Amino acid sequence: MPGFVKLIVGPSPHYHQLQSGKIKHQKSKPANPIWRVLIADEGNNKMHLRFFPGQPCADEVERAVIVFMEAQALLGGKVMVPATVEKLCPGIREKLQAKGANIYVPDNGFAAGSGIGKLAEDFLGSLKGWLGFVLEDMASCNEIEATAGNCMGFVTTALRREEDKENASSHIGHTIAEAICRLRGHDPAIQNKEYIAQTEAHLREVISRRQERSTT
């Protein structure tokens, strides 16, 4: 259904946040997962992602969603709010409607956009990889919020990949990784040069060992 804005709130199936603050992936369902608020803007091919270290309260979700959607001019069209979101945040449909949204209730999980949660997981995987390139540990939910570039802490990526463009999750992962590196007081350019130097030194060592074994 093109043109809908879909609101999805729920836990990550694979990510949780350690006491150190680092977000960590695990294959099985974590006991205390991080939570995600996803706003899928089908008309503009955008996905807005907000991460919380645990289940946020209803007021926190409502404020983040309404303020951000108002700022992005997303409240004048068709907004899909599934029963799961209304249950977590009682009255959110009414509040969005009062702001001008035309509220729709999806018939099933597919219509609600349940499958697009994978984009949030893809972004976190990309972010971890890019942080490695600047010699930084994985981020916390608060660090992602602080470097997202807007007051509500939503990271924006593409909802659907366009054939002639690079992977959007990778692009925004790179941008956020460099911002987190700076937030921690480091220069991403210097960190990346050190990463390259370490990688090249490791490769030289591996090649040297192979050559030694081949001559014995």
Per residue in 21-41, pLDDT tens? 999 999 999 999 999 999 999
pLDDT at 171: 87
CB 7 within 8 A of CB 85: yes
Per residue in 145-168, pLDDT tens? 999 999 899 999 998 765 445 566
| Domain membership flag for residue 55 | yes
pLDDT at 108: 65
Number of domains in the chain: 2
**81 and 118, same structural domain?**
yes
pLDDT at 3: 83
| Domain membership flag for residue 120 | yes
**207 and 160, same structural domain?**
no
Task: Give the number of other CB atoms < 10 A from CB of residue 196.
Answer: 11
**133 and 165, same structural domain?**
yes
**200 and 136, same structural domain?**
no
DSSP class per residue in the chain: -TT-EEEEEEEEEEEEE-TTS-EEE-SSPPSSEEEEEEEEETTTTEEEEEEESSPPPHHHHHHHHHHHHHHTT-SSSEEE--HHHHHHSTTHHHHHHHTT-EEE--SSHHHHTGGGHHHHHHHHHHHHHHHHHTT-PPPPHHHHHHTSSSTT--EEEESS--TTS--HHHHHHHHHHHHHHHHTT--HHHHHHHHHHHHHHHHHHHHHHHHHHHT-
**163 and 140, same structural domain?**
yes
| Domain membership flag for residue 196 | yes
* Tokens representing residue 212 in the block: 């030694």
Per residue in 54-80, pLDDT tens? 999 999 999 999 999 999 999 989 999
pLDDT greater than 50 at residue 1: no
pLDDT greater than 50 at residue 87: yes
Closest CA to 127 of 86, 161, 178: 178
| Domain membership flag for residue 31 | yes
pLDDT at 211: 86
C-alpha–C-alpha distance, residues 158 and 101, integer Å: 22
pLDDT at 120: 93
pLDDT greater than 70 at residue 216: no
| Domain membership flag for residue 125 | yes
Task: Give the number of other CB atoms < 10 A from CB of residue 180.
Answer: 24
C-alpha–C-alpha distance, residues 148 and 75, integer Å: 21
**164 and 207, same structural domain?**
no
pLDDT at 110: 56
| Domain membership flag for residue 183 | no
* Tokens representing residue 185 in the block: 């007081």
**209 and 111, same structural domain?**
no
pLDDT level of residue 212 (50, 70, 90 thresholds)? confident
Q: 192 is in which domain, residue-wise?
A: 188-214
Per residue in 95-147, pLDDT tens? 999 999 999 998 865 544 567 888 999 999 999 999 999 999 999 999 999 99
**128 and 46, same structural domain?**
yes
**136 and 83, same structural domain?**
yes
Q: What is the CATH number of the domain that holds 42?
A: 3.30.420.10
- CA of 115: how far to CAs of 38, 119, 214, in Å? 11, 9, 51
Place of tokens 């972004």: 123
**133 and 108, same structural domain?**
yes
C-alpha–C-alpha distance, residues 204 and 140, integer Å: 34
**97 and 73, same structural domain?**
yes
Per residue in 159-211, pLDDT tens? 876 544 556 667 899 999 999 999 999 999 999 999 999 999 999 999 988 88
pLDDT level of residue 7 (50, 70, 90 thresholds)? very high
**205 and 126, same structural domain?**
no
pLDDT at 113: 53
pLDDT at 89: 96
Instruction: Indicate the pTM of the whole model.
Output: 0.89
| Domain membership flag for residue 56 | yes
